[in-house]
Amino acid sequence: MTLHPRTMSVHASGTASTASTASSAQSAQEADSRVLDRSIGSFLRELRRLSEEQVERILVHQHSKGIRFGEAAVDLKLASSEDVLWALSQQFHYPYASNEGAQFDPELVTAIDPFGEQAEAFREIRSRLMMDVLAMDQPRRALTVVSPDVGDGKSFFAANMAIAFSQFGGRTLLVDADMRTPRQHGLFRVPNGVGLSSILAGRSDADVIHHVQDLPSLYVLPVGTVPPNPLELMQRSAFGLLMHELKTKFDHVIVDTPAAALGADARVLASKCGAALVIGRRGKTRMKPIQALLSALDGSGTRLAGVMLNDY
C-alpha cells in the first residue's frame, strides 16, 4: 500500500514548481536561522544514555579518523545511523519519530520516515497549499479533507498532512471531526475521553487538545464520545465560533471528516472551515460521486483546495 507522489497530485491553481521551490527555500532559511543550538553529540548522548567513557572513546575515534561525531559513534556501534538521522532532525528542528518513538502508528509515514517518498509527496502538497488556498495573504482557513466514500484515505491523509505542516514549524492542529468513525486519537495515541463532541455539547472545553509527543508543533483535538447527532452538533453556531477561535490560536488547522456518502457532515464542515481538499481513490472512486461532492462544495461557499488521487 504505497502512496506514489506522481499519483498523489493536487490540481490547484498556481504553478507547482514555483510553489515548491519558493517554499523549500523559505524553510531552509528558517532552519538556518535557528540552527545548531545543541550539538549532535549532546542529542546522541541523551538518546543512547552514553557514559563519559563512551563519549571519550567516540571523541578519540572522531579525531583520529577526522570524521564527525555521529559517524564515529556509528563506527564504534555506540549509535545507529537511524539515531544520527534522528539527532540531525532534532538539531535542525525538523522533528520526527526515532526508533524510540515507536508510539506512532505505522500509518504516520511523515513522522516515521520524514525523508521517504511519501513524506516528500506530502511536503509537495503542503507547499502548493501554502502558495494558494492557505497562503498568508488569504483569509484564514481551516482545511477539511473530504471524500465520497469510506476508506478513501481521508484520515491517513489528514494525519500525515498535519504532521507535514507541523514540521514546517507553525503550530498545527489536527481536528478529528469524523464524529461517526473517529480514528485520529488512535493514530496519535492521545486520550479520547473528551473532545470535539463534548465542546459542541457544552460539556467541556478544558484539556481537550493534546500535544503530540515528539512532534513539538503538533496538537490533536479528538472527537471524544461519539454523539448520536453529529450533524446537528456541527450545525450549531458553537462549531463556527470554535473554528474561528482555533484559527486564531493555530497557524494551520487540518480537519478530518466522515465520508460524504454517510450524510451532509462533510459539506457542512467544509463550509464552516473555509477550504476543502477532495480525495478520490484510484481505481475505485467513480466520477459521479466526485462530481456530486464538488458541486455540493461549490454551492456552500467553500474554497476548493484541489482534488487528489490516492493510489494505494
Ligand X SMILES: Nc1ncnc2c1ncn2[C@@H]1O[C@H](COP(=O)(O)OP(=O)(O)OP(=O)(O)O)[C@@H](O)[C@H]1O
- Figure out which of the listed residues 123, 126, 141, 154 binds ligand X, where binding follows CB under 6 A: 154
- Least separation in angstroms between residue 4's CB and Mg ion is 21
- Closest distance to ligand X from the beta carbon of 81 (Å): 25
For helices 40-48 and 81-91, what crossing angle results, to 10°? 130
Applying CB under 6 A, does 312 fall inside the site for ligand X?
A: yes
Residues whose CB falls within 8 Å of the CB of residue 81, separated by 6 or more in sequence, listed in order: 74
165 binds ligand X (CB under 6 A): no
- 259: contact with ligand X by CB under 6 A: yes
Find which of ligand X, Mg ion, none residue 3 binds, CB within 5 to 8 Å per kind: ligand X
Q: Least distance from C-beta 32 to ligand X, angstroms?
A: 32
231 in Cβ contact with 264 (< 8 Å):
yes
Q: Which of 45, 191, 270 minimizes the C-alpha distance to 279?
A: 270
Q: Which one of Mg ion, ligand X, none interacts with residue 107, CB within 5 to 8 A by kind?
A: ligand X
Question: Smallest distance from the beta carbon of 118 to Mg ion, in angstroms?
Answer: 18
Per-residue contact flags (x/-) with ligand X for residues 102 to 121, judged by CB under 6 A: -----x--------------
Among 83, 132, 152, 176, binds ligand X (CB under 6 A): 152
Place of cell 503550530: 171
Cell of 117: 517518498
- Angle of helix 154-168 relative to helix 117-131, nearest 10 degrees, comes to 70
* Residue with smaller CB distance to Mg ion, 41 or 153: 153
For ligand X, the binding residue among 89, 90, 147, 172 (CB under 6 A) is 147
| 266, 268, 272, 273: CA torsion to nearest 10 | 10
Asked if residue 178 binds ligand X (CB under 6 A), the reply is yes
Q: Rounded to whole angstroms, how far apart are CA atoms 241 and 239?
A: 5
Q: Does 1 bind ligand X (CB under 6 A)?
A: yes
Residue 15 CB contacts under 8 Å (≥ 6 apart), including other chains: none
d(CA 16, CA 129): 10
Q: What CA–CA distances, in Å, run from 307 to 10, 38, 195?
A: 6, 41, 29
**CB nearer to Mg ion: pick between 58 and 158:** 158
Task: State the nearest-atom distance from the C-beta of 141 to Mg ion, in Å.
Answer: 21
Q: Which residues bind ligand X (CB under 6 A)?
A: 1-3, 107, 147, 150-156, 178, 181, 183, 258-259, 310, 312
